Structure 1
Amino acid sequence: MDGVLVSLTEQSVDKTVEYLKVMRSAGFRAIFTSLQMPEEDPSRLLAPLILIGRFAAEHNMLLMADVSPRTFASFSLAQLKEAGVTGLRIDYGMENAEIAELSQSWQISFNASTINEEFLHDLRALGANFDSLEAWHNYYPRPETGLGWDGFVAKNEWLQSQGLKVAAFIPGDGILRGPLHEGLPTLEQHRGVSSFAAYLELKQQGFTDRVLIGDLSVSDWTLQQFRAWKEGTVLLRVREQRAAQVWEQIHHNRPDIARDVIRSEEARRQSTGSIEPENCVERKAGALTLDNNLYKRYTGEFQIVLKPLPADERVNVIGYVEEADLLLLPFLQQSGHPFRFLASPPGNE
């Protein structure tokens, strides 16, 4: 159950609900918002929270609210429940006995970085419902402060071994949250990276059960990638695209995985007609190539280049994977997932 972050104050609730409709259709089923905003009048937060909670209930979505003891000076648990909140993310300030009691009737998440063995032992002794407990990492608005990969993965492996589901944030590429507008990733290496590439890395390699988009929206292109992924296909942007039948096909990397290229399992056997030599230039990483008639039995072989290769008069370069999507290529090389192409949107060429 992946999700999105929404702000109760940074954009209108109507715009937020429209965004939630779009993301729900793309397979996202969790909503995270914060009630820890000391600069805001709490009375301004309740009306948008109720509308978002109503949407969450109607569309079977988890609504997780970031809370602390200060929150309960303004909102009672009954009030939050009535507003549609179904989960509480507790960062600090609550006694373990209170948390154990809350876990009997609420989905509860903690700051993943602060969880240790003593804390979990205490919760077990207090009878906490571990089926309701999760570990959610923070997001980091300030550049250079996000987590490192190795420590993140090691922590997640341990948390999962303790029976906890793990969540982390990736940046959006639409409207970025203030005040810095530099993305809200958990991992520093994901700052400025394609949202979909960051998502795939966490889901495939990061021991992460739930991924949430930390900013206020994603681009139309990224939305297309998530929708394609919901159907099980990786969508790649192409620039400098030359006419070829491979653009209409769905491809898989061959099971005998090559070192230097991704080889389409389907393209050569579906190839028809003559392919004359054209644009036989140096092949940089991300080049999309088609073997021409000079390659004899390999005519129609379609590849994605993974490392720079020299020009070859037998190989036509017919396009390039958009730079932001190059991070997806190692995943495609190893995973066996189907992939297809789409012309890069205007402004990305």
Structure 2
Amino acid sequence: MIVFDGHNDVLTELVRAGGRAAAGGFLSGLPGQLDLPRARAGGFGGGFFALWARSEGATDFSTLGPEYDLPLPEPVPEAQAWEMIRAQADTLVALEEAGAVRICTSTAQIARARDEGLLGAILHLEGAEGIGPDFYELEELYALGLRSLGPVWSRPNAFGHGVPFRYPSGPDIGPGLTERGRALIARCEELRILIDLSHLNLAGFREVAALSKRPLVATHSNAHARVPHARNLTDEQLRIMAESGGLAGVNFESTFLRPDGRPDDDIPAAWLLAQFDHLLDRLGEEGVAIGSDYDGCTPPAWLNSVDKLPALIAAMERHGYPAARIERICWGNWMRVLAETWGESA
């Protein structure tokens, strides 16, 4: 069973390690959660490779109480964000030149990459801080292969407001899209760039739902009914997504999986499968996929790197999922929603 994944942050880690100069480490092995040898060992066929403008500083999770609202970092200035985003995009190009991945802009290209033993990579932007008001940078990234975009990470920016890392909490926090944010959504619609709802707050989610004619997608988000974290999707949001033919990729982050919202990797398979069950019930067989967040999360200990994905497949089988459902979750559902979003003919 080959897995196509809705989110990883390996490009952020590679740029921190040297960017293009560190690309060889991806081929030989890295200390994080995702590299080429472990991808091949785990049946990882590719996914969304995120570009993200990282803020300096780290959160001290050891100070969290049973309820928490983590302070968000300051916004990254536009020029600095663009420099980081472009360095990550160049690193992905280096991985393609090294024969590890293929940057894909169609499901046919993803299928060919799979057949040739390459990782199919979707260029994805997580937070649009580096894009100026004339959208020149968006057009440049599109020419490089960008086909998926989340207008915000959790911190606010010129395009809208995200949800903080708050537990317990719902996503109805703050205002929605700005005027520039609405213009960005309109341009993405014209270009058929997938719009990722994962970090948007409820007001922004509702605005995208009203503006978009495509399936509504959260590339790496879980069910709020199972874990009441602000980053998880409420049943109201899932209903709106289902009506659009949308999809959610299940995130492996511990604070989105544990009922107590703790950053603790002691997570039985039952808690992860409960997320799949709830999302399948609300979104249907064609609306659930995987959005691991590898290299950007604390996953369950038994699933803590990409080579452990067969353990997830085995857990699904023990849980009673038929083979056809597992294949849709692992691969087919992403191909469906990408084909619809990108306007591919049947």
With the length of structure 2 as denominator, give the TM-score of the two structures.
0.48
* Structure with greater strand percent: 1
Larger Rg: 1
With the length of structure 1 as denominator, give the TM-score of the two structures.
0.48
* Structure with greater helix percent: 2
- State the structure with bigger RCO (CA 8 A, min sep 6), 1 or 2: 2
